[in-house]
Amino acid sequence: MEFCPECGKVLFPRDGIFSCDSCGYEKKVTEESKKEYEVSEKVNAEDTVIVTDDNVKTLPTIKVICPKCQNKLAFWWLQQTRSADESETRFFRCTDCDYTWREYD
């Protein structure tokens, strides 16, 4: 996964460019990154589906300090980003500035 260096959100490949829906950051998709990412329109039952809309307001919240704006409340979720025998990655998104960061156990 590619993350935006400006706001920390996930970058999605579109028309040969990784783009951030939040701040507008763009990065050209290279041949190297094409090998790393395969985009498929077809979703199998076993596939992980990443929700791309901004409706995170339904996620649980936690008291944690945002490293960007110092707000003290963030949405959080867990996602398996490494091998299955390792713990999940905890993601946070600030309720004020929408900055997203992650934390490993």
Active-site positions? 85-86
Distance CA 41, CA 47 (A): 12
**CA end-to-end distance (rounded Å), the chain:** 19
Nearest to 74 by CA among 55, 91, 54: 91
Measured from the Cβ of residue 87, the count of other Cβ atoms closer than 10 Å reads: 10
